[in-house]
Amino acid sequence: MPTPTLAETQALLWKLITAPEGVAKGLEGLGAAERRVAHSLIRPRSPLSAVERWDIYANMYFYRLRDCLKDDFAAVAGVLGDADFHNLITDYLLAYPPRHFSLRYAGDRLPDFLQEHELSRHRPFLADLARLEYAIVDSFDAADAAALTADDLQSVQAEDWPGLRLHLSPSVRSLQLEWPAGEIWEDAKQGREPETIEAKPTHMRVWRKELRVFHKTIDLSEAVALAELERGRAFGEMCETVGDAEAAVSMLRAWLADELLCRSRDA
């Protein structure tokens, strides 16, 4: 049999290390030629068999993924405890193995997966908590943009304000949730067991200011205003939708202070 290429060797390693039912089952599913190559790559060395040595790599791969996901979803892990979180990630990776070379995207489907997972029967808020945590990760990695300041708006003439288009920073994420995820997140961060939690429509914004990511529960009026900006509406159109010009101006002041706005999307 010809010597396998580097790409073929890498593909074989990947196939066995990520085999859903373990390396032994993965080897059984290989053709005779691939099995010979696999056995030539990792051989038995007392006291471990070849399969046991393969399993070391497979287990390292899983635990590395689990630990990265635990970092990204620390509040979910805190609520669940180590055993349940381990089982959740096992189920998740079997259903949704990573599609991207970067671990950054390994948990992108976990919030939706949690929505239907058995663990959510007793903690139905888990999916929303995961959505908040993934938005935090997403916001941190968003592109940089020069923040719009109050001084930048000093030159805007009164007649130009209705047509002014404000740009949200690339780090801004808006969430519409069914549970008060911010409160649950804070309890988990402090190591407190969440008290009786009741579902309630919750709007949140997540954003990065310098190197820190913040999140805040907001009212419906602000959620609508942010949605208008995301759609590219002018300031005047946003005020009309909100229905309260004074409230819109107050929001603008808060957005400037929090650096939610940027000079342009291309900045």
**Residue 203: φ, ψ to 5°:** -110, 135
pTM: 0.88
Domain presence at residue 197? yes
158 in the same domain as 246: yes
224 in the same domain as 148: yes
> Do the beta carbons of residue 199 and residue 146 sit within 8 Å?
no
* CATH number, residue 145: 3.90.930.50
pLDDT digits (tens, 9 = 90+) for 123-158: 999 999 999 999 999 999 999 999 999 999 999 999
Q: How confident is the model at residue 1 (pLDDT cuts 50, 70, 90)?
A: low
Domain boundary among 26, 41, 70: 70
Lowest mean pLDDT of 2-11, 136-145, 217-226, name the range: 2-11
171 in the same domain as 253: yes
> Do the beta carbons of residue 25 and residue 14 sit within 8 Å?
no
pLDDT above 70 covers a percentage of the chain that reads 99
Torsion of Cα atoms, 19 then 21 then 26 then 27, to 10°: 140
Give Cα separations from 200 to 128, 181, 183 (angstroms).
11, 10, 12
> Do the beta carbons of residue 185 and residue 73 sit within 8 Å?
no
Taking alpha carbons only, the member of 94, 90, 96, 99 closest to residue 70 is 90
pLDDT digits (tens, 9 = 90+) for 62-85: 999 999 999 999 999 999 999 999
Instruction: Return the higher-pLDDT residue of 30 and 228.
Output: 228
Q: How many domains does the chain have?
A: 2
Domain presence at residue 170? yes
- Structural domain including 198 reads 124-262
How crowded is the C-beta side of 177, counted as CA atoms within 13 Å?
A: 34
pLDDT at residue number 172: 98
Q: How confident is the model at residue 265 (pLDDT cuts 50, 70, 90)?
A: low
pLDDT digits (tens, 9 = 90+) for 172-195: 999 999 999 999 999 999 888 777
| Residue found by looking up tokens 């620390």 in the block | 74
Burial of residue 173, with CB atoms counted within 10 A of its CB: 0-12 exposed, 13-18 middle, 19 or more buried: buried
60 in the same domain as 176: no
Lowest mean pLDDT of 87-96, 184-193, 251-260, name the range: 184-193
pLDDT digits (tens, 9 = 90+) for 222-231: 999 999 999 9
128 in the same domain as 66: no
> Do the beta carbons of residue 190 and residue 202 sit within 8 Å?
no
Q: If you average pLDDT over every residue of the chain, what do you get? A: 92
Crossing angle between the packed helical segments 235-242 and 245-258, to the nearest 10 degrees = 120
pLDDT at residue number 42: 82
Q: How far apart, in whole angstroms, are the C-alpha atoms of residue 96 and residue 112?
A: 11
Q: How far apart, in whole angstroms, are the C-alpha atoms of residue 133 and residue 130?
A: 5
Domain presence at residue 39? yes
Taking alpha carbons only, the member of 221, 227, 267, 218 closest to residue 247 is 221
Q: Where are the alpha helices (DSSP H) in the chain?
A: 6-17, 23-28, 32-41, 50-72, 74-80, 82-95, 110-116, 126-140, 181-189, 220-230, 235-242, 245-258
258 in the same domain as 128: yes
Domain boundary among 33, 48, 70: 70
